[in-house]
């Protein structure tokens, strides 16, 4: 089957062909025709199977006819994270370049003013995270009663992040007569309840068993001492043929500390987590895509949906707390038919989490021992990232300063010298030469 067999317009087919695609993935082949027929959809597919294009492509053709009105978007796509929202926006720009559709990205971490101006001009496609959307709605900056198409993407991730109440409220603000598409990697009970409430006679599409890992990914558990994780990681980075790697940690503080440690040892690493502002996160991802850094230390904000080609390895520095997150983390490698390797560091405290992961994916993961530890001191021979010019100038100024005088040994300590601004001692004090205060003449018995 080819994209031309799915009923898409010639302009859209031209854009897809120029993007280098000819054959649709299973989720795309099954989802695009019913979406074009204006049916509600529940799509369940593992990460990396092309879910985004399965709703972006038909939406472009459906929205090609019509006109946007101020503050009233014609369609709405809800994403759990800023990175996923930005990636969907990139897909619309890539595939919709021969259509005159307007688009707005409504996410936190950036200035609200530009987003409001875009809404005031009118948009055909609004891509938003639930928090920022609800904020603008409560301020009266957006109206949802003109939205005829809703996409809820990564619904199970929305559940994990606590967005389901917001999504339910958003759905009540939309017209009852609308088309709703729900995509998820898994279908837990709360998501099933959400679908039953807000979707009308949906067509269910499932192209893989929920929460299955790609067969292109070699998975291994690495038993390590919790105090020697960094040593083991450096040893594996040196021993493995790592072209680019994503290292996942459970806490933002661990992300920051591990990235600093890797940089001290000369690795070209960067970091991404929820405390970094949006522009910096996008810039860091771009550096990783371009190869300026080849190691990305990340929290779970990078675990879902981010399509970065050429990731050879995934390291779970911390075993994930939720088994679903394991599937999404390792899904950053082995994409588009490529081979990948995923290592998960396991300590004695992780036994329950690993059992839950193996139950979820339905397989036993091979266990290996930790490699020989890397040396404790940072090695000088590894090329280090170039310092900014400002830092180099400061370093040069420090080098140009005169050496401090040697401190004499304690046994030969010189006699204390008088301070420069203190008067010299002119001899014995002859006493007070002014009038004597009365209280000094009082005797004590």
The ranges assigned to domains in the chain are 3-206, 217-369
- CA quadruple 83, 52, 344, 314: dihedral sign: negative
Predicted model pTM: 0.64
CATH code reported for the domain at 217-369: 3.40.50.300
CATH assignment, 3-206? 3.40.50.300
Phi, psi torsion values for 192, nearest 5 degrees: -60, -40
What pLDDT is stored for residue 427 in this prediction? 44
pLDDT tens-digit readout, 29-51? 999 999 999 999 999 977 667 88
Confidence check: pLDDT of 382 > 80: no
Among 87-96, 268-277, 414-423, the range scoring the smallest mean pLDDT is 414-423
Q: How many CB atoms sit inside 10 A of residue 223's CB?
A: 14
- Does the pLDDT value for residue 105 go beyond 50? yes
Q: Does pLDDT of 202 surpass 90?
A: yes
Per-residue model confidence as pLDDT tens digits over 217-238: 999 999 999 899 999 999 999 9
**What are phi and psi for residue 157, nearest 5 degrees?**
-70, -35
For residue 261, list its beta bridge partners.
none
pLDDT tens for 117-142 read: 888 889 999 999 999 999 999 999 99
Least confident of 43-47, 56-60, 140-144, 201-205: 43-47
Domains 3-206 and 217-369 share a fold: yes
Separation of CA 68 from chain center: 32
- Name the maximum alpha-carbon separation found in the chain: 118
As a whole number of angstroms, the distance between CA 163 and CA 307 comes to: 23
Check residue 443 and give its pLDDT: 54
How far is residue 175's CA from residue 146's CA, in Å, rounded to a whole number? Answer: 7
The residue with greater pLDDT, 75 or 395, is 75
If you count them, how many residues does the chain have?
445
> Can you tell me whether residue 92 is helix, strand or coil?
helix
């Amino acid at each position: 089957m080819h994209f031309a067999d799915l009923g898409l317009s010639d302009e859209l087919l031209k854009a897809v062909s120029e993007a280098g695609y000819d054959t649709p993935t299973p989720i795309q082949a099954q989802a695009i025709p019913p979406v074009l027929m204006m049916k509600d959809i529940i799509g369940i597919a593992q990460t990396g199977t092309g879910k985004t294009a399965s709703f972006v492509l038909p939406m472009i053709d459906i929205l090609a006819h019509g006109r946007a009105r101020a503050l009233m978007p014609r369609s709405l796509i809800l994403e759990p994270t800023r990175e996923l929202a930005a990636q969907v926006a990139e897909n619309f720009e890539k595939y919709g370049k021969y259509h005159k559709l307007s688009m707005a990205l409504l996410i936190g971490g950036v200035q609200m003013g530009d987003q409001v101006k875009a809404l005031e001009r009118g948009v055909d496609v609004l891509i938003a995270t639930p928090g920022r959307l609800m904020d603008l709605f409560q301020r009266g900056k957006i109206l949802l009663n003109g939205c005829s198409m809703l996409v809820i993407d990564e619904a199970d991730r929305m559940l994990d992040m606590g967005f389901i109440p917001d999504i339910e409220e958003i759905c009540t603000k939309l017209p009852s007569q609308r088309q709703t598409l729900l995509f998820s990697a898994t279908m837990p009970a709360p998501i099933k309840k959400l679908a039953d409430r807000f979707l009308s006679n949906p067509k269910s599409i499932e192209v893989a068993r929920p929460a299955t890992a790609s067969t292109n990914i070699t998975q291994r558990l690495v038993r390590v001492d919790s105090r020697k994780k960094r040593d083991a990681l450096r040893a594996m980075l040196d021993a493995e043929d790592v072209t680019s790697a994503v290292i996942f940690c459970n806490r933002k503080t661990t992300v920051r500390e591990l990235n600093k440690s890797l940089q001290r040892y000369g690795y070209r690493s960067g970091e991404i987590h929820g405390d970094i502002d949006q522009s910096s996160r996008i810039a860091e991802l771009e550096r990783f895509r371009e190869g300026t850094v080849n190691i990305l230390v990340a929290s779970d904000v990078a675990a879902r949906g981010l399509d970065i080609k050429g990731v050879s390895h995934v390291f779970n520095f911390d075993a994930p707390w939720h088994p679903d997150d394991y599937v999404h983390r390792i899904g950053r490698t082995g994409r588009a038919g490529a081979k990948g390797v995923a290592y998960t560091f396991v300590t004695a405290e992780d036994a329950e989490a690993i059992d839950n992961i193996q139950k979820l994916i339905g397989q036993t993961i091979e266990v290996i021992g930790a490699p020989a530890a890397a040396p404790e001191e940072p090695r000088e021979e590894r090329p280090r990232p170039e310092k900014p010019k400002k830092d180099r100038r400061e370093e040069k100024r420090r080098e140009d300063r005169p050496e401090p005088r040697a401190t004499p040994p304690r046994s030969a300590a010189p006699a204390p010298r008088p301070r420069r601004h203190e008067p010299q001692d002119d001899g014995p004090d002859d006493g007070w030469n002014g009038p004597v205060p009365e209280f000094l003449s009082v005797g004590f018995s």
